[in-house]
A and B are shown apart, each in its own frame.
Chain A
Amino acid sequence: MHSGTEANTVAGQQHRTPGPDRKTRSRRARGVVGFGHWWWALPGVLVVLAIHYVATGVGGFFAFTNWTGIGSFQLVGLANFQKILGDPSKILALGNTLFLAFGSVVIVNIVGLAIALALNRTLKSRYILRVLFFMPVVLSPLAVSYIWKFIFDFNGPINAILKSVGLESWQKSWLGDPTFAIWAVLIVIVWQQTGFAMVIYLAGLAGVPTEVEEAAAIDGTTLWQRFWHVTLPAIRPAVAISTTLGIVNGLRVFDQIMALTNGGPAGATETLATQVYKQAFSLANFGYGAALALILSAIILVFAVIQQRVTRGTES
Chain B
Amino acid sequence: MFRYTSGSLIREIGVWILAIVFLLPFYFLISMALKPDAEVYTTSSLALPLNPTFNNFSSLFVASGQSNILLGLMNSIIITAGSIFGLIILGSLTGYVIARSTRRWGKATYYLFLIAIVLPAQLGAVPLYIGARTIGLTGSVWGMIFLYTGMLLPLAIFLYAGFLRGLGTEYEEAASIDGASRWQVFFRIVFPLLAPATGTVAILCGLIVWNDFFTALIFLGGSANQTLPVSMYYFIGSLVSKWNVIFAIVIVSMIPILAFYLFAQKRFIQGFAGGLKG
Q: Are A140 and B241 in contact (CB under 8 A)?
A: no
Q: Which residues of A sit under 8 angstroms from B185, Cβ to Cβ?
A: 35-36
The interface on chain A, measured as residues whose beta carbon lies within 8 A of the other chain's beta carbons, has a size of 99
Q: Are A51 and B257 in contact (CB under 8 A)?
A: no
B43 CB → nearest A CB, Å:
10
List the count of A-B residue pairs having beta carbons below 8 Å apart. Answer: 280
With A32-B176, A199-B272 as contacts: A142 and B213 at CB distance below 8 Å: yes
Q: Are A33 and B172 in contact (CB under 8 A)?
A: yes
Interface string of A158-193 (1 = CB under 8 A from B): 001100100000000000000000000000000100
Q: Are A56 and B213 in contact (CB under 8 A)?
A: no
Q: Which residues of B sit under 8 angstroms from A129, Cβ to Cβ?
A: 15-16, 19
Q: Are A143 and B15 in contact (CB under 8 A)?
A: no
Q: Are B109 and A41 in contact (CB under 8 A)?
A: yes
| Chain A interface mostly | helix
- Which residues 192-240 in B have Cβ within 8 Å of A in the complex? 207, 210-211, 213-214, 217-218, 228-229, 232-233, 236
Docked complex Cα distance between A158 and B214 (Å): 30
Q: Which residues of A sit under 8 angstroms from B51, Cβ to Cβ?
A: none
Q: Does A228 contact B (CB under 8 A)?
A: no
Q: Are B97 and A50 in contact (CB under 8 A)?
A: no
The interface on chain B, measured as residues whose beta carbon lies within 8 A of the other chain's beta carbons, has a size of 98
Q: Which residues of A sit under 8 angstroms from B120, Cβ to Cβ?
A: 252, 293, 296-297, 300-301
- Which residues 49-98 in A have Cβ within 8 Å of B in the complex? 49-56, 58-60, 62-63, 69
B248 CB → nearest A CB, Å:
11
Q: Does B74 contact A (CB under 8 A)?
A: no
- Which residues 98-153 in A have Cβ within 8 Å of B in the complex? 115, 118-119, 122-125, 129-135, 137-144, 146-148, 150-151, 153
Q: Does B261 contact A (CB under 8 A)?
A: yes
B135 CB → nearest A CB, Å:
12
Q: Does B49 contact A (CB under 8 A)?
A: no
- Could you list 9 A-B pairs, sorted by A, with CB under 8 Å? A29-B173, A41-B97, A124-B12, A135-B258, A142-B232, A143-B253, A191-B22, A273-B122, A293-B125
Q: Which 7 A-B pairs have the closest CB atoms?
A: A44-B94, A55-B124, A35-B100, A51-B150, A203-B273, A304-B118, A58-B127
Other 15 A-B pairs with CB < 8 A, given A135-B258, A293-B126: A35-B101, A52-B119, A55-B131, A59-B125, A129-B16, A131-B265, A135-B23, A140-B257, A142-B211, A146-B232, A146-B247, A153-B243, A196-B272, A203-B277, A290-B126
Instruction: Please give the residue numbers on chain A whose beta carbons come within 8 Å of chain B beta carbons, in ascending order.
Output: 1-2, 5-6, 9, 29-30, 32-38, 40-41, 43-45, 47-56, 58-60, 62-63, 69, 115, 118-119, 122-125, 129-135, 137-144, 146-148, 150-151, 153, 155-157, 160-161, 164, 191, 196, 199-200, 202-203, 237, 241, 245, 248, 252, 254-255, 258-259, 273, 276-277, 280-281, 286, 289-290, 293-294, 296-297, 300-301, 304
